[in-house]
Amino acid sequence: MPRTIIEPFRIKSVEPIRMTTPEERATLLEEARLNVFKLKADDVLLDFLTDSGTGAMSAKQWGAIMEGDESYAGANSFFRLEAVLKDLTGYKHIIPTHQGRAAERILFSVATKKGDIVPNNTHFDTTRANLEYAGGEGVDLVIPEGLQPKTRHPFKGNMDLGKLEDLLKREGHRIPFGMMTLTNNSGGGQPVSLANLRATSALLKKYGKPLVLDVCRFAENAMFIKMREEGQQHRSVKEIAQEIFSLADGCTMSAKKDGLVNIGGFLALNDETWVEAAKNMLILTEGFPTYGGLAGRDLNALAVGLEEGLHEDYLRYRLRTAEYMGEKLLAGGVSIVEPTGGHAVYIDAKAFLPHLKPEDYPAWSLCNALYLEAGIRGVEIGSVMFGRHLDDGSETYHAMELVRLAFPRRMYTQSHFDYAAEAICELKAKAPTVRGVRIVKQSRYLRHFTAEMRWA
Ligand code: F0G
């Protein structure tokens, strides 16, 4: 039996991708003010900017798109999705939204108030931003291993239970509920164990607090549990996922990840008081409760995507992709966050470009160099994203300088990944020639999207 894990699909429809010359890329990057967010996607060969909404849908999903019911109220597409989600999550109320952050905004606007604290393993940026916008504060309580790129641990997304109990004891009156992000995207796409989820749920319950999950990548997390957690090998990924949902009182989801769709999300809840307020907010800002911010065809595609996203041959191939890239990069002497997570590989830019100083923005520089070298687009997770330009003119820098290569689902083949790994290892040999950058123009919030740069 061959040991190669293959893409468990064949290709019916293709899109060409464009090879550019190094000279063209140099011009294009200059025109983009050295910011890969400003590149045209047509000028990118392999686009690893994000795994969100960028994947390929199946023939079955495209078929379901044609069957979408676009009725304003009571569309059968909603009931189709609702049935899939009730079976999977067990939650009583399903509230569709146009994407994850809309579900977060609605949740925080109805379930938190000014001065509240919401603990999480690590809040994703939109989650934290929506919580802060509602007047609350996000506290990250991931285990210490989750913050150490080189420390291997099977479940680096786990919650630090000691710290959570401390916080519940000290600030319990300010905590409306706890959260858990599966997988922990900001910490490298690292999974949470079932044992840790059970313990977190029980601890919150002891203090009378509900648990709400951020389940963008719940299927990848459930597969990690099946592969790594003792006693879970005999269960189906769906059974594991069902137990995950049963440990919480609701969830938000950006379905653009493990829902295998290009747009979509939802909020699912049991609590009747939250639900009523959430549906009112949904009508005000997203749409009628049986479509939320989506078309009927989107609801149908998601109903199919959620089932396909739990196929174990797909998930085995999916997790193997990041692991395979990680192995190739490590073999080429490239430092990455270890072990690899579910949806991405994170390169340690400080180790890759040791000659650069924090003010050279090493991860940003490495992103630019990757595009120039091979037409690959990744994203900086470093000091441009998380550092600040303070009012007194000084700068703050982020502790880690990472480049995330996030992998769209079912889109690229093994030779694309071979090409990417080869190019990155070749770039490693030329690393001393990579120059730092300086910020020329920036906005006050989320500056990485629009910043203009020059070479240092
Ligand atoms: N929660 C997590 C853990 C996420 O990774 C994202 C999006 C969201 C919430 C928000 O969902 O984009 O549908 O509004 N992550 C994308 C990424 C953008 O590139 O990691 P959204």
Cβ-defined contacts of 143-152 (< 8 Å, 24+) = 146/121, 146/122, 146/184, 146/187, 146/188, 146/190, 147/187, 149/188, 149/335, 149/336, 149/337, 149/338, 149/346, 149/348, 149/400, 149/402, 150/335, 150/338, 151/338, 152/338, 152/339
Q: Which of 273, 290, 308 is the endpoint of a domain? A: 308
- Ligand 1 centroid–CA 431 distance in Å is 31
- Any atom of ligand 1 within 6 Å of the Cβ of 181: yes
Predicted confidence at residue 454, as pLDDT, reads 97
Rounded Cα–Cα distance for residues 246 and 44 (Å): 42
Closest ligand 1 atom number to CA of residue 99: 13
Specify whether 140 is located in the same domain as 288: yes
Rounded Cα–Cα distance for residues 59 and 304 (Å): 10
Specify whether 107 is located in the same domain as 130: yes
Chain length of the chain: 456
Specify whether 65 is located in the same domain as 210: yes
Smallest CA separation from ligand 1 atom 12, residue: 100
The domain of 47 spans 22-51+313-455
For residue 3, tell me if it sits in a domain: no
Q: Mapped to the 3 state alphabet, what secondary structure does 312-345 carry?
A: HHHHHHHHHHHHHHHHHHHHCCCCECCCCCCCEE
- Ligand 1 centroid–CA 320 distance in Å is 22
Specify whether 274 is located in the same domain as 156: yes
- Any atom of ligand 1 within 6 Å of the Cβ of 218: no
Specify whether 420 is located in the same domain as 325: yes
- Ligand 1 centroid–CA 201 distance in Å is 23
Classified as helix, coil or strand, 256 is: coil
What are 439's two structure tokens?
């910020």
Smallest CA separation from ligand 1 atom 11, residue: 100
Specify whether 141 is located in the same domain as 268: yes
Specify whether 146 is located in the same domain as 294: yes
For residue 219, tell me if it sits in a domain: yes
Q: Which of 118, 126, 128 to mutate to test the pocket of ligand 1 (most atoms within 8 A of CB)?
A: 126
- Any atom of ligand 1 within 6 Å of the Cβ of 256: yes
224: left (phi over 0), alpha (psi -120 to 50) or beta: alpha
Q: How many CA atoms lie within 13 A of 127 on its CB side?
A: 28
Predicted confidence at residue 268, as pLDDT, reads 98
Compute the CA torsion angle 389, 393, 398, 399 (nearest 10 deg): -170
- Any atom of ligand 1 within 6 Å of the Cβ of 221: no
Q: How many CA atoms lie within 13 A of 333 on its CB side?
A: 9
Number of domains in the chain: 2
Specify whether 277 is located in the same domain as 420: no
Rounded Cα–Cα distance for residues 408 and 420 (Å): 14
Rounded Cα–Cα distance for residues 57 and 307 (Å): 12
DSSP 190: B
Specify whether 317 is located in the same domain as 171: no
CATH at 321: 3.90.1150.10
Task: Output the tens digit of pLDDT for each of the chain's 456 residues.
Answer: 888 999 999 999 999 999 999 999 999 999 999 999 999 999 999 999 999 999 999 999 999 999 999 999 999 999 999 999 999 999 999 999 999 999 999 999 999 999 999 999 999 989 999 999 999 999 999 999 998 888 999 999 999 999 999 999 999 999 999 999 999 998 889 999 999 999 999 999 999 999 999 999 999 999 999 999 999 999 999 999 999 999 999 999 999 999 999 999 999 999 999 999 999 999 999 999 999 999 999 999 999 999 999 999 999 999 999 999 999 999 999 999 999 999 999 999 999 999 999 999 999 999 999 999 999 999 999 999 988 888 898 999 988 899 999 999 999 999 999 999 999 999 999 999 999 999 999 988 789 999 999 999
- Any atom of ligand 1 within 6 Å of the Cβ of 254: yes
Q: Which of 283, 308, 333 is the endpoint of a domain? A: 308
What are 281's two structure tokens?
């907010």
CATH at 105: 3.40.640.10
For residue 356, tell me if it sits in a domain: yes
What are 59's two structure tokens?
């023939």
Predicted confidence at residue 68, as pLDDT, reads 98
